[in-house]
């Protein structure tokens, strides 16, 4: 809970710093897919499509104690408000769970906090992963594209974990129990992620 408020302040400070330096007029922020996926799915008559227009609902994040998702949601909203107020061109990248060689052992905390609520994300077809090198590439591409008309939010992921076999493999890589992801249930997901990214 405390970290969510800290993230808001940090985001505001970064954008304000950009605004105060005359030579800096554009900024690329790293956010997270969990800032897009948490809302009340029961209110939809058809399966929702998660895209760059989606924001996690803060009330849902608080109710489920998803502090990482809450922090990412609140801080990026704050960054957008500050960017508009100070005429800073902003883009945010919302990657899925970061993967890659040796990534989990070196970054266990970020993986664990991202995966709070993973069982529900898996059931809804929203447990997505992306290689850390692809996220780095996305940052470079989007930063370069900011010279033109590009700005906004971009979802970045490689795959959606949809089967028990994929959940087992993810559990093996992270060293976390498989129940943390799938709850030993099979996923029959009709929710689709829409990739909104400027690569190639």
192 is catalytic: no
Helix axis angle, 2-20 to 67-86, nearest 10°: 20
- The answer to whether 196 touches 52, Cβ cutoff 8 Å, is yes
Q: Looking at 9, 72, 89, 194, which residue is catalytic?
A: 72
CA dihedral 50, 52, 55, 56 (to 10 degrees): 50
- Element counts in the chain: helices (H) and strands (E): 8, 8
CA atoms of 88 and 25, how far apart (whole Å): 5
Distances (CA, A) of 86 to 23, 82, 150, 152: 14, 6, 18, 16
Torsion sign across C-alpha atoms 34, 35, 36, 37? positive
Instruction: Quote the strand ranges of 115-184, DSSP E.
Output: 128-131, 152-156, 159-160
Instruction: Provide the annotated active-site residues.
Output: 72
């Amino acid at each position: 809970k405390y970290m969510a408020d800290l993230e808001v302040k940090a985001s505001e400070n970064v954008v304000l710093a950009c605004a105060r330096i005359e030579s800096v007029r554009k900024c690329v922020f790293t956010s997270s897919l969990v800032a897009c996926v948490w809302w009340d799915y029961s209110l939809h008559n058809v399966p929702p499509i998660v895209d760059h227009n989606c924001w996690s609902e803060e009330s849902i994040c608080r109710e489920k104690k998803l502090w990482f998702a809450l922090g990412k949601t609140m801080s990026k909203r704050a960054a957008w408000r500050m960017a508009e107020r100070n005429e800073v061109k902003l883009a945010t990248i919302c990657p899925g769970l970061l993967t890659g060689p040796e990534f989990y052992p070196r970054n266990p905390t970020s993986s664990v906090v991202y995966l709070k609520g993973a069982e529900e994300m898996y059931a809804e077809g929203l447990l997505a992963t992306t290689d850390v090198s692809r996220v780095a590439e996305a940052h470079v591409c989007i930063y370069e594209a900011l010279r033109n008309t590009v700005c906004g939010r971009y979802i970045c992921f490689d795959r959606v974990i949809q089967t028990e076999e994929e959940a087992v493999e993810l559990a093996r890589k992270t060293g976390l129990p498989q129940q943390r992801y799938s709850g030993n249930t099979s996923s029959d997901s009709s929710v689709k992620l829409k990739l909104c990214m400027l690569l190639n």
